[in-house]
């Protein structure tokens, strides 16, 4: 017999049902959307739970609580974008603080860190975190914050969060993991030792490509309070309507991720055996260098992958023209499948030399795999590959 006294619901149940039927005014089953910017005081010197929308909002807080539960944190701050979530942490650093970030981090992350460093708000150093000795050397400089991104974009490099976090803590640094590429349905960094989890909720958490949003989850309640105050000071909170939409998207996070990563696995296998394809980067493939770590620290392999075509830029052009069911667009994590060409789109700003160092060739394509039927996605890719082979 299972002892149900310590029973806590499965995260899928939290995503699907957190806050359902909690409305005390009318018994609404779907949690209501509160747009009000201000709240009536109960009386003289009697504020209620909420007073002003920049500081707090019931709809935004519902999403924040659900996300904190899913990420196993003490609380979370919902912000207006993934970038403003990152900046909530970065802008709290002092001028003599050093941030250690991956050399192949998200382009917007690199731009923000460099811009803050240029203004003297903090220092930043980029390092290949999969290089054990380079990472150890960088820790000698006593960073205040180590930022981790795994899997990376667009080559899906995987690093061991538990190992890096332990080393960072030994060096006295706090650890933040950008979990945008997997979501808490697949990876829970706090369980692996992270102090903060960052999200662009724009991606899998909302999942429908119709909101820009972000979140910071903190493991320590004192940090949650400080960050909440800071978000109120700088005014970076997410809009209530966006939170409501994101909560609606979050309901189906687990089944979406399950189906999308099944599709991704099928596509990775298909591409790997195709004569027009040089190489496939997907942690679910046993041949991927990060496969063992991913299998250990993730609960699945996600729905992002990239691959390289034979025939360079002209093959890329032909493929993009002919491919079906994949839309040529930046971003990821939505229910629709997207194809991106990192060299001319997401990673164009990097410059040719930096791309070459990072291993991002002109014939690399990135796929965000959606919820379409596997058969159709395979047919759509086949159409594209046939065109570039011919």
Ligand X SMILES: *Cc1c(COP(=O)(O)O)cnc(C)c1O
Provide the binding-site residues for ligand X, judged by CB under 6 A: 81-83, 106, 108-109, 149, 153, 178, 180-181, 200, 202-203, 212, 214
Q: Which residue is nearest to ligand X (CB)?
A: 82
> 239 Cβ partners below 8 Å, 6+ apart?
80
Residue 69 catalytic?
Answer: no
Question: Among all chains, which residue has been given the structure tokens 């190489």?
Answer: 279
Q: Please state at what angle helix 312-322 crosses helix 374-389, rounded to 10 degrees.
A: 140
Residue 327, H or E segment: strand 327-328
82 or 384: CB nearest ligand X: 82
Catalytic-labelled residue, pool 203, 256, 355, 366: 203
Of 36, 5, 23, 4, the closest CA to residue 239 belongs to 36
Which of 83/385 has CB closer to ligand X?
A: 83
Beta carbon of residue 354, minimum distance to ligand X (angstroms, whole number): 17
In degrees to the nearest 10, what's the CA dihedral of 308, 314, 317, 320?
-40
What CA–CA distance (Å, rounded) separates 332 from 207? 8
Catalytic residue list contains 104: no
Catalytic residue among 18, 34, 39, 106: 106
Which of the residues 178, 195, 256, 355 is marked catalytic?
178
Please report the beta strands in 91-239, taking only residues with DSSP state E, as ranges in sequence order.
98-102, 123-127, 145-149, 174-178, 196-200, 214-218
Are 384 and 324 in contact, with CB atoms under 8 Å apart?
yes
For the bound state, the minimum distance from the C-beta of residue 197 to ligand X, rounded and expressed in Å, comes to 12
Q: Work out how close the CB of 297 gets to ligand X at its nearest, in angstroms, rounded to a whole number.
A: 17
Least Å from the CB of residue 72 to ligand X: 20
- 362 labelled catalytic: no
Q: Measured between alpha carbons, how far is 22 from 32 in angstroms, rounded to an integer?
A: 9
- Closer to ligand X by Cβ: residue 146 or 276: 146
| For ligand X, the closer CB: 55 or 212 | 212
Active site residue 34: no
Q: How far is the CB of 179 from ligand X (least distance, A)?
A: 8
Query: Is the CB of 75 or the CB of 334 nearer to ligand X?
Result: 334
Residues annotated catalytic, as ranges: 54, 106, 178, 203
């Amino acid at each position: 017999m299972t002892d149900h006294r310590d029973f806590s619901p499965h995260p899928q149940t939290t995503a699907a049902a957190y806050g359902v039927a909690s409305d005390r005014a009318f018994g609404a089953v779907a949690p209501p959307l509160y747009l009000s910017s201000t709240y009536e005081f109960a009386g003289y010197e009697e504020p209620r739970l909420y007073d002003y929308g920049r500081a707090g909002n019931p709809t935004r807080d519902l999403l924040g609580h659900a996300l904190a539960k899913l990420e196993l944190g003490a609380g979370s701050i919902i912000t207006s974008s993934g970038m403003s979530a990152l900046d909530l942490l970065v802008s709290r650093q002092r001028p003599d603080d050093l941030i250690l970030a991956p050399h192949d981090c998200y382009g917007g992350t690199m731009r923000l860190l460099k811009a803050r460093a240029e203004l003297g708000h903090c220092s930043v150093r980029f390092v290949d975190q999969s290089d054990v000795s380079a990472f150890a050397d960088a820790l000698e400089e006593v960073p205040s914050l180590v930022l981790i991104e795994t899997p990376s974009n667009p080559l899906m490099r995987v690093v061991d969060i538990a190992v890096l976090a332990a080393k960072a803590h030994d060096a006295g640094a706090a650890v933040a993991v950008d979990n945008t590429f997997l979501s808490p349905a697949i990876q829970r960094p706090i369980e692996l030792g992270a102090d903060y989890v960052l999200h662009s909720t724009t991606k899998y958490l909302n999942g429908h490509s119709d909101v820009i949003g972000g979140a910071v989850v903190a493991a320590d309640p004192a940090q949650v309070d400080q960050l909440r105050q800071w978000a109120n000071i700088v005014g970076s909170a997410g809009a209530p309507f966006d939170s409501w939409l994101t909560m609606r998207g979050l309901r189906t996070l687990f089944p979406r991720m399950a189906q999308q990563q099944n599709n991704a696995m099928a596509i990775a296998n298909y591409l790997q055996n195709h004569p027009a394809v040089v190489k496939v980067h997907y942690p679910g493939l046993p041949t991927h260098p990060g496969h063992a770590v991913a299998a250990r620290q993730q609960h699945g392999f996600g729905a992002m992958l990239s691959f390289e075509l034979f025939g360079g830029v002209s093959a890329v052009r032909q493929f993009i023209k002919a491919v079906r069911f994949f839309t040529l667009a930046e971003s990821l994590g939505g229910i629709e499948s997207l194809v991106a060409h990192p060299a001319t789109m997401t990673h164009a700003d990097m410059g040719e030399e930096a791309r070459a160092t990072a291993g991002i060739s002109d014939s690399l394509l990135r796929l965000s795999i959606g919820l379409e039927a596997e058969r159709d996605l395979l047919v759509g890719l086949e159409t594209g590959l046939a065109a570039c082979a011919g």
